[in-house]
Amino acid sequence: MIVAALLRGPVYFGVLRRSVPGVSERMLSDRLTELGAAGLVVREVDEGPPLRVSYRLTESGAALEPALGELARWANQHLMDSGPTVSGRRP
């Protein structure tokens, strides 16, 4: 969800937090650090005042867009209308 939110362009931390339902500041910070270490996200500091931190996808991160689109398409086809399952099979 973080990568999907960043596909639209650079986003400030607070805006990104509101874009990802249920994520705490700590969890978002940890995931952004991991995505940065993987070379998918870049952290940029605007010196301000006020000091603001934004995040953007690297070229490698942006290259995930087609895969995320296909995954969303698959989920819409197979998960949204599937209803409850038992052992991976529909009742």
How far apart are the two ends of the chain, measured CA to CA in Å? 30
Q: How many domains does the chain have?
A: 1
Q: Residue 55: in which H helix or E strand, if any?
A: strand 52-57
* 43 in a structural domain: yes
Domain that holds residue 63: 2-78
pLDDT tens figures, 24-73 = 999 999 999 999 999 999 999 988 788 899 999 999 999 999 999 999 89
Look at residue 89 and tell me if it is in a domain: no
pTM of the entire structure?
Answer: 0.77
Q: Which amino acid, residue 6? A: L
64 burial (CB, 10 Å; 0-12 / 13-18 / 19+) is middle
